[in-house]
């Protein structure tokens, strides 16, 4: 089930299903709103977007209320989260999936929001989107990076097949403290492009998101099926090579590698310091020993910028050899 495409003049709802960070950086939040307005959209900030309840943006009930109101509102055509966090999965067992199924619309976020994106897609069949969020991407000084903006529009605003995803020309993981010293463009470096960890070809539906968060769903009814899937996975700068190794080993124990058709890994933040003598490639090849599906690293999604949106459930193909071709084979919206 694909949502309707986004058009200029449409209303986009903003909400915070996880972290309360939006409450502490009002200027950054306002810049994100203004970016969407410059792009031609109306913006509806949901009532609890800047609420604070301990480490979350409001109680479970308040965060559920915002999500339900946004899906129910016929004027809202898309929902974009402010940021991730840690606890969006608290909402899964009380979400009204019938409401969502009967009011399909674009729902996008990343990092911890993976729990909601995967859970909703699994329970309803609605295509959900791992993609730019209000504070990290839309709230930058000059709005979205050109690469992110291009793929946002191509993925969410047109109904032709999305096509081949070229690597960005440059990227950054520089951190500027929001609302304190984020008054310049971050320093970017040249993107060396995709890295092949294992050659091969694979085609299947996308399962995208934050690896650690996705694994929170193991053994629950919210975990997506791995059958034939192209796994497009990332994680944040708080992880270490040891925890990344553990996560990919857990996928092995879950039987994922017996079912999937490919793995694409988003670029890691530089704070995740892999051992030059035992790299991310080495970790992946050890965890997936005995299997022959392609593995591609350094893709433009995750906790660095720019990013392209990843539509859960949409067919993609991966060809990894002397060159890499990542292609999304159909449209993500109607």
Catalogue the active-site residues.
111, 234, 303
CA distance 208 to 123: 16
**Buried residues in 152-168 as b, exposed as e (16+ CB within 10 A):** bebbbbeeeebeebebb
The total number of residues written for the chain in this structure: 334
The token pair at 77 is 């055509």
CA distance 52 to 50: 7
H helix runs in the chain, sequence order: 26-38, 60-72, 97-102, 114-124, 146-156, 211-215, 241-253, 280-287
19: left (phi over 0), alpha (psi -120 to 50) or beta: beta
Closest to 244 (Cα-Cα) out of 253, 234, 232: 234
Closest to 326 (Cα-Cα) out of 227, 334, 314: 314
Tell me the HSE value of 303 on the side-chain side, using a 13 A CA sphere. 19
The token pair at 132 is 């730019």
Tell me the HSE value of 84 on the side-chain side, using a 13 A CA sphere. 23
The token pair at 95 is 């979400």
CA distance 85 to 216: 14
- CB 157, CB 5: distance < 8 Å: yes
């Amino acid at each position: 089930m694909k949502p309707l495409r986004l058009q200029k003049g449409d209303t986009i709802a903003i909400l915070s299903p996880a972290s309360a960070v939006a409450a502490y950086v009002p200027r950054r939040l306002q810049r994100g709103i203004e970016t969407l307005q410059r792009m031609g959209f109306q913006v509806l900030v949901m009532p609890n977007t800047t609420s604070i309840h301990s480490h979350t943006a409001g109680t479970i009930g308040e965060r559920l209320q915002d999500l339900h109101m946004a899906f129910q509102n016929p004027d809202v055509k898309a929902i974009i989260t402010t940021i991730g966090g840690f606890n969006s999965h608290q909402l899964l067992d009380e979400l009204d999936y019938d409401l969502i199924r009967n009011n399909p619309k674009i729902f996008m976020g990343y990092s911890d929001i993976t729990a909601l994106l995967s859970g909703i897609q699994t329970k309803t069949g609605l295509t959900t989107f791992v993609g730019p969020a209000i504070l990290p991407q839309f709230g930058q000084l000059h709005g979205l990076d050109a690469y992110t903006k291009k793929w946002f529009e191509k993925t969410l605003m047109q109904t032709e097949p999305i096509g081949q995803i070229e690597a960005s020309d440059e990227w950054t993981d520089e951190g500027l403290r929001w609302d304190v010293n984020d008054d310049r463009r971050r320093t970017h470096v040249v993107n060396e492009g995709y890295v092949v960890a294992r050659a091969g070809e694979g085609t299947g539906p996308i399962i995208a998101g934050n690896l650690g968060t996705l694994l929170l769903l193991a053994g629950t009814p919210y975990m997506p099926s791995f059958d034939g899937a192209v796994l497009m996975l990332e994680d944040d700068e708080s992880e270490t090579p040891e925890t990344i190794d553990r996560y990919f080993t857990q996928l092995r124990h879950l039987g994922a590698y017996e079912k999937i058709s490919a793995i694409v890994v988003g670029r890691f933040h530089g704070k995740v310091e892999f051992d030059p003598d035992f790299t991310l490639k080495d970790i992946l090849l050890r965890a997936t020993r005995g299997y022959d599906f392609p593995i591609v690293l350094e893709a433009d999604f995750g906790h660095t910028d720019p990013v392209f949106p990843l539509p859960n459930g949409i067919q993609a193909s991966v060809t990894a050899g002397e060159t890499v071709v990542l292609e999304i084979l159909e449209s993500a919206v109607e």
